[in-house]
Amino acid sequence: QVQLQESGPGLVKPSQTLSLTCTVSGGSISSGYYSSWIRQHPGKGLEWIGYIYYTGSTYYNPSLKSRVTISVDTSNNQFSLKLRSVTAADTAVYYCATSAGSVAPFDYWGQGTLVTVSS
Amino acid sequence: QSALTQPASVSGSPGQSITISCTGTSTDVGGYNYVSWYQHHPGKAPKLIIYEVDTRPSGISFRFSGSKYGHTASLTISGLQAEDEADYYCTSYSRSSPCVFGTGTKVTVL
């Protein structure tokens, strides 16, 4: 059974960079997963941030594209999110998730990690 | 890319059937059969319950069914149970983005 676990700081200062890592166990990213980041603002709905294929190709939500970088580390079976120049509006629960294709559904999810942007 | 439109809340009594709509446009829901539905209990990971409009993943109850007509997809929960109380989100592939989420629907079991 594939399991995902997010890790990273729970508090980030405004204007700094939010950095999170998702560790995948029970399966190999290199087997062809599309690895995504998704967030949920407090009391709001889900928002897709972007995905990376194990080869390194990426696709980002157009609304966040200028501030987002997703990278993959196949040797450690991890993928990471960097969100630059954060503001309070980036406070959210961040989830990592995987899918079998670029248009496939998210079949495995992490439990989510709350990141608060505050000074 | 605007979020797909879902009703904010839907409620029903145990045993009843409810339907949640997910309305988009010709460039997302109406243009592709890549609509998925997720059940989300607060504090837990979302769970895939329907993909490609009407396909249930292995292990998902037959009480969950999906359909689509035009620009609107729908999720029907039959034989409503207390454990079905959760938030439900649709997603669709869109011409401008691989994934756009719906606004979310809170299902309450009366």
Contact in structure between B85 and A29 (CB atoms under 8 Å): no
The pLDDT score that the predictor gives to residue B50 is 98
Judge whether B91 is closer than 8 Å to chain A, CB to CB. yes
- Give the pLDDT mean for A74-102: 96
CA distance B17 to A30: 42
Which pLDDT value is given to residue B94? Answer: 93
Q: Which two tokens stand for residue A76?
A: 């450690």
Q: What's the pLDDT score for residue A102? A: 85
Share of chain B above pLDDT 70, in %: 99
Beta bridge partners of A99: A34, A106
Strand-pairing partners, residue B77, are B18, B64
| pLDDT value of residue A13 | 98
Out of A45, A97, A112, whose CB is closest to B104?
A: A45
| CA pair distance A48, B97, nearest whole angstrom | 9
Cα–Cα distance, A73 to A26 (Å, whole number): 16
Cβ proximity of A117 and A12 under 8 Å: yes
A5 touches chain B (CB under 8 A): no
φ, ψ (nearest 5 deg) of residue B106: -90, 120
- Is residue A99 predicted with pLDDT exceeding 90? yes
What is the gyration radius of the CA atoms in chain A, in angstroms?
13
Tell me what the pLDDT averaged over chain A comes to.
95
| DSSP 8-state assignment for residue A102 | T
